[in-house]
Chains A and B, each alone.
Chain A
Amino acid sequence: MEKLKIADKTFTSRLFTGTGKFRSSEEMEKALVASGSELVTMALKRVDVKDKEDDILTHLRHEQFNWLPNTSGVRNAKEAVFAAELAREALETNWIKLEIHPDPKYLMPDPVETLKAAEELVKLGFVVLPYIHADPVLCRRLEEVGTQAVMPLGSPIGSNKGLKTDDFLKIIIEQSNVPVVVDAGIGAPSHAAYAMELGADAVLVNTAIAVSDNPEQMAVAFKMAVEAGRMAYESKLGATSNTAKASSPLTEFLAKE
């Protein structure tokens, strides 16, 4: 399988993972190690970046993991930039998952504030991965201001509903010049495989692994699904059709020529 490159990093695994909602940090660590994930995101509001012994961060100190702090909880561009700078200073990474969802009910990303923050963060030298609606035009605008990837949602965060936005994801994947990471809503390995078959460069999964009865096993299931989907994509899937195509009755006579 092809490796994935985002900014200065190369990834073998195309499964990115979240660190919230687990019953313990030990269980989180086991599951994420088993997932093979090489990029893990953590909410700044949950970790204590000033505490060297923070429980979540301690369990994420593995060679395997690159850290992707996220700005979950901020309500506008100004707070997002402030949060990103704090993360860069404390966690020594210039990667940031930009999340601005001022609506606490459906956690819908604010496109206006996200674009504004992305532009500023890029200028400040961040590698910006913005969480957004599956909006093809917004993806192009973000690419223009210099984000290193785009992270359109499959369905609302934590909803496990799968790729409700697949028609728009297909347009985004077709048009994008930066990696497309499908984020949010992936509730089953089959959803992840589907995203990869469509040509997504990676997926990000959290809730489906964290709240399952056996997170470690579920993490492996997602690992396999992402690999299967990617392999299928690289091998080129056959075209689909609503009718059977056993022969060519209308043009068969030409074969005699």
Chain B
Amino acid sequence: MSFVEQINRYNWQDVQESIAAKSAKDVEIALHATHPTLEDFKALISSAAENYLEEMAQKSHQLTLQRFGKTIQLYAPLYLSNECQNICTYCGFSLDVKIDRKTLTDKEILDEVAVLKSYGYDHVLLVTGEANKTVGLEYFKNAIELIKPFFSHIAMEVQPLNQDEYETLIKLGVNTVLVYQETYNKENYKIHHPKGKKSNFDYRLDTHDRLGRAGIHKMGIGVLIGLEDWRTDSFFAAAHLDYLEKKYWKSNFSISFPRLRPCAGGVELKSVMTDKQLVQLICAYRIFNQEVELSMSTRESETFRNNIIKLGITSISADSKTDPGGYSNPNVNLEQFEIHDKRSTADFIQAIKDQGYEPVFKGWDPVLQ
């Protein structure tokens, strides 16, 4: 049974109500569970758990330390294209947003690679919009072949693809694929994705099953926090993780926490997540799953990112540019979103060391294809 079928077992409203009904006692049970269940996860993300934040943080810290040690993996996003045929109400690359469009040529890709290598990066995340005609399988194959010699680990955050396409890319050297469902609420999903291939909720939801069958090393899931009630949406992401982990037992998993902030002219948010709640969510995931990679981008502020290092996050980007060509030839008119933490890689490395952690550039090897 795929997750597309599994999700029908849940009723959104019921899940939301059961999270709201969690009590302090449920939180205490969850905090002391040897093998926390999805019900425990509900308790940990509930409002009842807000009074247990320090205890959750302590537990998350210890579990992370035991599993990952005093290390933080570093990666850098490399935006290859901002062309996109989808309309997404929240996205800077949406078809209806008037920005300049650009897809990098071979030379431009290599110029970006040169800058990232000069900063020391060895794990790269390739990012695009969705423009299947110009930025489809052939474009990706070429880009990966170009980039492969320079990085130990290649991740992709592009449009969902078919299983055979993933198999092709894995053979060429892709190690990780990240596809965020944005929201697991099907009705609300339609409102935020009115046009383009992305409007097909089920095809996107089935992506990780296709990735699992294709034999990917690591897959990433996540919700765009703010589109829906974050607690309910995060529960569905955790249920997705739980399902995938049991079925595709050789895969590693990664969770990201892209958080939308209210802004003038922007999409209307259903829930605004506070810093405190984001910490709660990060700790809840760690307590629920000791081995999942928890990843953080430069969307968050300097202070927040400094303090999150000890709390459960294991993978962090720094010094990022969200416009194609942005490292070698910056152009703000091409950006997906404005980053919050603008520190240089060197400054961020120092911040990690100041917390008593080792910044890790190489945590993978091409031999492990």
The reply to whether B367 and A79 form a contact with Cβ atoms under 8 Å apart is: yes
Residues of B near A47 (CB, < 8 A) are: 362
User: Are A21 and B70 also in contact (CB < 8 A) when A102-B250, A104-B252 are?
Assistant: yes
Q: In the bound complex, how far is the Cα of B70 from the Cα of A21, in angstroms?
A: 5
User: Are A25 and B358 also in contact (CB < 8 A) when A44-B365, A75-B250 are?
Assistant: yes
The reply to whether B362 and A46 form a contact with Cβ atoms under 8 Å apart is: yes
Q: Chain B's nearest CB lies how many Å from the CB of A41?
A: 14
Tally of contacts, chain A with chain B, CB under 8 A: 70
Residues of B near A210 (CB, < 8 A) are: 69-70
Residues of B near A74 (CB, < 8 A) are: 367-368
- The A-contacting residues of B in range 344-369, CB under 8 angstroms, are 353, 356-358, 360, 362-365, 367-369
The reply to whether A23 and B357 form a contact with Cβ atoms under 8 Å apart is: yes
Q: In the bound complex, how far is the Cα of B366 from the Cα of A86, in angstroms?
A: 11
Q: Say if the beta carbon of A45 comes within 8 Å of chain B.
A: yes
Q: Say if the beta carbon of B65 comes within 8 Å of chain A.
A: yes
The reply to whether A83 and B368 form a contact with Cβ atoms under 8 Å apart is: yes
The reply to whether A158 and B67 form a contact with Cβ atoms under 8 Å apart is: yes
The reply to whether B250 and A48 form a contact with Cβ atoms under 8 Å apart is: no
Q: Say if the beta carbon of B245 comes within 8 Å of chain A.
A: yes
Q: Say if the beta carbon of A24 comes within 8 Å of chain B.
A: yes
Q: Say if the beta carbon of B249 comes within 8 Å of chain A.
A: yes
User: Are A82 and B291 also in contact (CB < 8 A) when A103-B249, A104-B250 are?
Assistant: no
- Interface residues of B, CB < 8 Å — how many? 27
Q: In the bound complex, how far is the Cα of B251 from the Cα of A188, in angstroms?
A: 31
Q: Of the candidates B291, B356, B357, B367, which one forms a contact with A104 in the assembled complex, judged by CB atoms under 8 Å apart?
A: B291
Q: In the bound complex, how far is the Cα of B70 from the Cα of A47, in angstroms?
A: 16
In the complex, the chain A residue whose C-beta lies closest to that of B249 is A103
The reply to whether A48 and B362 form a contact with Cβ atoms under 8 Å apart is: yes
Q: Of the candidates A20, A23, A86, A105, which one forms a contact with B356 in the assembled complex, judged by CB atoms under 8 Å apart?
A: A23
User: Are A45 and B368 also in contact (CB < 8 A) when A102-B250, A105-B249 are?
Assistant: yes
Point out which of B67, B71, B367, B368 has the most chain A C-beta atoms below 10 A from its C-beta: B367
Residues of A near B90 (CB, < 8 A) are: none
The reply to whether B364 and A73 form a contact with Cβ atoms under 8 Å apart is: yes
Q: Say if the beta carbon of A94 comes within 8 Å of chain B.
A: no
Chain B, 251-292, contact with A by CB distance < 8 Å: what is the 0/1 string? 110000000000000000000000000000000000000010
Residues of A near B360 (CB, < 8 A) are: 46
Q: Chain A's nearest CB lies how many Å from the CB of B266?
A: 38
User: Are A79 and B369 also in contact (CB < 8 A) when A22-B69, A24-B353, A211-B65 are?
Assistant: yes
In the complex, the chain B residue whose C-beta lies closest to that of A74 is B368
Q: Chain A's nearest CB lies how many Å from the CB of B64?
A: 10
Q: In the bound complex, how far is the Cα of B245 from the Cα of A210, in angstroms?
A: 28
- Interface residues of A, CB < 8 Å — how many? 28
Q: Say if the beta carbon of A217 comes within 8 Å of chain B.
A: no
User: Are A21 and B69 also in contact (CB < 8 A) when A104-B250, A104-B251, A104-B291 are?
Assistant: yes
Chain A, 210-254, contact with B by CB distance < 8 Å: what is the 0/1 string? 110000000000000000000000000000000000000000000
The reply to whether A105 and B353 form a contact with Cβ atoms under 8 Å apart is: no
Chain A, 1-45, contact with B by CB distance < 8 Å: what is the 0/1 string? 000000000000000000011111100000000000000000011
Q: Say if the beta carbon of A165 comes within 8 Å of chain B.
A: no
Q: In the bound complex, how far is the Cα of B69 from the Cα of A160, in angstroms?
A: 13
Q: Say if the beta carbon of A207 comes within 8 Å of chain B.
A: yes
Residues of A near B250 (CB, < 8 A) are: 75, 102-104
Residues of A near B356 (CB, < 8 A) are: 23
Q: Chain B's nearest CB lies how many Å from the CB of A72?
A: 9
Residues of A near B364 (CB, < 8 A) are: 45, 73
Q: In the bound complex, how far is the Cα of B252 from the Cα of A102, in angstroms?
A: 10
In the complex, the chain A residue whose C-beta lies closest to that of B62 is A211
In the complex, the chain A residue whose C-beta lies closest to that of B367 is A83
Q: Please list the residues of chain B having a beta carbon within 8 angstroms of any beta carbon in chain A.
A: 65-71, 122, 152, 245, 249-252, 291, 353, 356-358, 360, 362-365, 367-369
Q: Please list the residues of chain A having a beta carbon within 8 angstroms of any beta carbon in chain B.
A: 20-25, 44-48, 73-75, 79, 82-83, 86, 102-105, 158-160, 207, 210-211
Which 10 A-B pairs give the minimum distances between C-beta atoms? A21-B69, A23-B70, A45-B365, A102-B250, A73-B368, A104-B252, A83-B367, A45-B364, A211-B65, A23-B356
29 residue pairs A–B, Cβ–Cβ below 8 Å: A21-B68, A21-B69, A21-B71, A22-B358, A23-B70, A23-B71, A23-B356, A23-B358, A25-B358, A44-B367, A45-B152, A45-B362, A45-B363, A45-B364, A45-B368, A46-B360, A48-B122, A48-B152, A48-B362, A73-B368, A75-B368, A79-B368, A103-B250, A104-B250, A105-B245, A207-B66, A207-B69, A210-B69, A211-B65
Known pairs A22-B69, A23-B71, A211-B69. 4 more at Cβ < 8 A? A21-B68, A44-B367, A104-B291, A210-B69
